[in-house]
Structures are given as structure tokens and as C-alpha cells.
Amino acid sequence: MTNDYKDKNTCFFNKECKNREMATLKNVLVMFIFVIVLSSISLASVTNGGYLYPQFYDRTCPKAQEIVRSIVAKAHAQDPRMAASLLRLHFHDCFVKGCDASILLDNSGTIISEKRSNPNKNSVRGFEVVDEIKYALERECPETVSCADILALAARDSTVLTGGPSWEVPLGRRDSLGASLSGHTIGDARCTSFRQRLYNQSGNGLPDATLSEGYAAELRTRCPRSGGDQTLFFLDPLTPLAFDNLYFKSLLTGHGLLSSDELLVTQSAATRALVAKFVASNEAFFEQFAKSVVKMGNISPLTGPTRGEIRTNCRKINGEHY
């Protein structure tokens, strides 16, 4: 098994090391949550102009979704953390520059890969699963299904495999002809991501006042002033292995790990109201999650015959040789 499947990070509970691959999914889902809450407000006007629709491949590649689903299921059975990795890939690809599979491109004579950026290094993975899906699709229906659509479908299927909601995925994206090294900057919840909250949030030598004192004390035992930089922490301390709404309950009790978590309940009445809504109803959270991932997938898609291309190899643009 290659490095694409290896996990080099440090466990912070020895007894939980064997479970952390599943817990990683929850960590990735929580990254979506900030987008989910804000998407109800800031992405409300995002549309795809009618160019994307779930039946896009019904005639040209009717088995496309079945092929993606089966390979994702196999990968998840072999490596439970892979569900999180595929969901993360879709998020990293879409959120800044649009859903165009640019994150999948390797370095070449004309491409500086987004995989080289510091936030993505040792963070994004799952590329070999995408390769396997693309290979199967090219055999079934050559030059038809885009790599960007593969990521969108794999994100949905990964969520379902781990107990989350399902949704219809609008399809018809095309793949970019280049990469944007600075375009994807979502990081991980390592000690370095929140150390300032524990020791010197406002430059006064005091911890963040919005953080529960007990929770802060617990975090300090595993995230000292120096050392342990790469130690991973569950973003949801209540049910890190489950896809549910308890993350939001932890926010209301001062147990949000990152500053961005706490902003959901402290920055505006609108976001706090949505947090309260999700606390009251897991079903509401599931519904909003599905809607928001669809909205995110609609950000600046390349559509139509003259924009982008359908790559035959997701790692390089067509006609380019390594």
C-alpha cells in the first residue's frame, strides 16, 4: 500500500489510535459545518445556471454513479479513513476557485500542483481511489465523465457510507486546464491550529474566555506551550465517531476547538440561531448539510463544450506527458 493510504500523524489517546481513521471523518465533516452555516446566508444565490443536473450521464454513461459508488465502498471497506479523505478532496477543490478537479493535477512542465501547498501537504489524500474510479469509467464510457464530477459523487457516497444523508448530485462539470497553488487553504485541527486560544488569545497572556475552563485545561495537557505541534484533536469531543448534531451542542457549552468554531455562536445572531436549530433537530442538520454540499458543488463550475475539458487521466491535462 502506497503513502497515499498511510497516516503519519500522532494519536493523542493511545486507546483511540485504532479508531482514529473513523474519527477523521468527523473532523472533515466539521470543516464543512462552518461552510454549511454560512452557506445558508452567503451562498444562497449560488446557482449553476441549469447546466448541472443529476441525469447528465443517464444516456452517455448510465452506469457512472454505480461505478463510483462501488469503488468508494470498496475503498472505505479497506480503509475507513478514506471516506473522510474523499469528502475533503471535494471541499478543497471547490471552495475557493470552484469545482474543477484542479486539486488532482500533479506537477508537470506547465502545472505547479496544488498538492504542494502547505495546507494540502500530508493532508489531502485519496488520489489513488480517484485514479481507480477514472480508469473504470474510461473503460465503460471513454472521455465522458469528468474528474470534477467524480469528486462530487465520491463525496456524497462517502457521507452515506458513514451514516450521513444522501442527496442528488448535479452533474456536468468539466475539468480545469490548470491549477491554482494558493487557491486551497483549509488546514487540520492540529495543536498549532488552536494553541493561541489556550495561552494567549488576545495578547494578554490569558486563554480565550469563550472556551470552557475545564475543556481548556484538558486540551493544555496534550497541547503544551511548546512541542506536540502535530498532535491531532477531535473537533467534536462528544461523538467523534458519529455523523450527528452533537458538535453544535458542544459549541453552546464552550467546547468548540477552533476560534472559527466559536464564531458560529459569538459573531452573529443569524449563525447562533442556526446552531440552535441544529441542536434541536438532527434531521434539520442532515437536510442543511446535503443542501449546502450541493450549493458548494455549484460554485463556478466549468460547463459547456468550450470551457475546460474531460480529462482521461485526472492527474494531468489531456495531451500532456510526464
Q: Rounded distance, CA 120 to CA 184, Å? A: 8
pLDDT digits (tens, 9 = 90+) for 75-103: 999 988 888 889 888 988 887 568 899 88
- Single-letter amino acid code for the residue at 266: T
Would you place residue 265 in the very low, low, confident or very high pLDDT band (cuts 50, 70, 90)?
confident
Please check whether residue 304 lies inside any domain of the structure. Answer: no
Over 70: is that where the pLDDT of 2 sits? no
- Does the annotation flag 110 for ligand binding? no
Could you say which of 76, 92, 255, 321 is catalytic? Answer: 92
pLDDT at 36 (0 to 100): 60
Are 31 and 96 part of one and the same domain?
yes
- Does the annotation flag 192 for ligand binding? no
For 114-123, 149-158, 195-204, 259-268, which range has the lowest pLDDT when averaged over its residues?
114-123
Are 157 and 200 part of one and the same domain?
no
Asked if 92 is an active-site residue, the reply is yes
- Does the annotation flag 260 for ligand binding? no
- Does the annotation flag 185 for ligand binding? yes
Please check whether residue 259 lies inside any domain of the structure. Answer: yes
For 134-143, 229-238, 250-259, which range has the lowest pLDDT when averaged over its residues?
229-238
Give the chain's mean pLDDT.
77
Packing angle, helices 147-161 and 64-78, rounded to 10: 50
Are 55 and 159 part of one and the same domain?
yes
The mean pLDDT of 237-255, rounded to a whole number, is 70
pLDDT at 320 (0 to 100): 74
Please check whether residue 55 lies inside any domain of the structure. Answer: yes
Are 179 and 195 part of one and the same domain?
no
Q: Name the most confidently modeled range: 23-37, 203-217, 240-254, 263-277.
A: 203-217
Please check whether residue 217 lies inside any domain of the structure. Answer: yes
Are 174 and 227 part of one and the same domain?
no
The mean pLDDT of 199-211, rounded to a whole number, is 83
Task: Supply the CATH number for residue 227's domain.
Answer: 1.10.420.10
Are 168 and 201 part of one and the same domain?
no
pLDDT at 3 (0 to 100): 42
- Does the annotation flag 261 for ligand binding? no
pLDDT at 203 (0 to 100): 80
Structural domain including 74 reads 16-184+290-297
Over 90: is that where the pLDDT of 71 sits? yes
Q: Give the three-class secondary structure for 6.
A: coil
- Does the annotation flag 131 for ligand binding? no
pLDDT at 159 (0 to 100): 87
Are 140 and 202 part of one and the same domain?
no
Are 49 and 134 part of one and the same domain?
yes
Counting residues of the chain whose pLDDT is more than 90, the rounded percentage is 26
Please check whether residue 52 lies inside any domain of the structure. Answer: yes
Please check whether residue 265 lies inside any domain of the structure. Answer: yes
Please check whether residue 195 lies inside any domain of the structure. Answer: yes
Task: Supply the CATH number for residue 120's domain.
Answer: 1.10.520.10
The mean pLDDT of 251-265, rounded to a whole number, is 72
Q: Rounded distance, CA 280 to CA 296, Å? A: 24
Are 53 and 84 part of one and the same domain?
yes
Domain tally for the chain? 2
Which of the pair, 275 or 240, is modelled with greater confidence? 275
pTM of the model: 0.70
pLDDT at 17 (0 to 100): 40
The radius of gyration computed from the CA coordinates of the chain, to the nearest angstrom, equals 20
Are 113 and 171 part of one and the same domain?
yes
Q: Rounded distance, CA 246 to CA 254, Å? A: 13
Over 60: is that where the pLDDT of 195 sits? yes
Please check whether residue 30 lies inside any domain of the structure. Answer: yes
Are 80 and 177 part of one and the same domain?
yes
Are 72 and 156 part of one and the same domain?
yes
Q: Rounded distance, CA 147 to CA 140, Å? A: 15
Distance from chain centroid for Cα 223:
24
- Does the annotation flag 229 for ligand binding? no
